[in-house]
Structure 1
């Protein structure tokens, strides 16, 4: 107990068993022990006890009824409860009148210290992705006790290993003051785990996490050949190790998104139902697209879906033009739009 010490009205006295960092100017300082045997008593000038609080395993006489059962941990304070009107509760029972709170020191000038960590980072997600590049976004956060403090963000990521509070030091990390981060050249066909914490120059927020599966590389060698089926075309490509495929066609060039009149978005192109059992990586896949109409130009595109259910970018877009049949003979010109080269003209099905 601080004997012969005066606590000025509207000031706060800090009791902490830990190293305390704060830029808050104190009203008074002392090297004496504030609390002894887990209890504090306030006395008047005649040494009469005005108020008292005890906690943990305290056996000190400075206690009202039953001690508060817990010892405050680091960055915790023992504070008196308030009722719905905001008035302090005082029933002369420490176990019922107090609760664990975050430290909120305020000096007699009304200045507050930077004690509490920033609020957790909200809305942390992979907003967009292209191939093996992802863009992480989040909403900004603030510090509850220093709301004007500039907040920075520490981001962590790891391939195939979840981010937790225990492995942050082994994860790849970077710091930014913006609310977006682009990560490129990630490994294909891999799941990445991401984490983020806000930092107010003294304290870190709790960890927010998200994850994302990078797809297989897009197919780049889509080719066409004659089919044994009339009014059909056989498509060929090298297997990337997929779990399944999405195959689409249209009478315009198929792109990811389009507002052009001579192109069509992937979502608007016609899906070709398929039950392909994918071959092993490096082998040749084949699929026949049937019921095509002669004398039309068709565009084909393929996406792969990995075992992690990640869908690749559009790959191997190609066009078939001058398509018609003469008996068993199919004639067409095929162009790979990815490589801008003629693939075959004409073809013979005999």
Structure 2
């Protein structure tokens, strides 16, 4: 990839001042804005996934109830590689980001209880830098996660270990990057292929309000655990998440009550494929903390999973909390793009 961009002392101070003007805003409500209206539509079809455990009809997995899922088969490979997700309009719409620098939006047809039955109006467009060039042209396109805050839309770029800020909504797909978050050197120095992977906006009415919480994909070479960062206008604080059995972090999102869900993925010839969801109390995410979390779900090749990378959370009309998990197929014919829905029962 291209050389990593470094902020000079002057530009760092300017970026910090710029961000402090906008940062103190709560996450915005996940409504139903128009998305990617000028973007290219994509033909796609879906296959229904009715059971989570292969060959078993169980729907209850601890505190999670499986509602159903879809395999998305798109006609354009640029729609593959989905790595970050925001659920909108009560789960009937989404905006995603791919790991090669594209926005993807769509509508989800769903039953009253939230089971997805179809994906419609699928569109994609390249992310643009502040200069109007695509992130692909700027070598900054390894985009892995996104989160929505009152100050805009934030997107991580793993290889550059950067966080980009975009306006909200992405109405046409031609919106340009507003700026880049000023980050400390230890974040910039994370391994290029296992850097900033998970990103979530701090919830309203909590000590994390107006801040971003980021988690590195894997452990640095001299540590076993995962590095977490609380990034705000006054600087960056650090915490640690215990890492077990070679699972890596791939995405994070906050629940309505303020707790954080972390998606973890294991994907190698040695371990085959695995998914893990852990829940962390929002009050425990603080400077210097070492977090264990509550295990909500663990799955392997006996379940309908793939390279699970993205998490969206929304509340439905009944006040129920719904989790949408999406896989990154790496644009490979050997993998699948999955949309899986679970209801959190507490």
TM-score normalized with structure 2 length = 0.20
TM-score normalized with structure 1 length = 0.20
Structure exhibiting the larger radius of gyration computed from Cα positions: 1
Bigger RCO of structures 1 and 2 (CA < 8 A, at least 6 apart)? 2
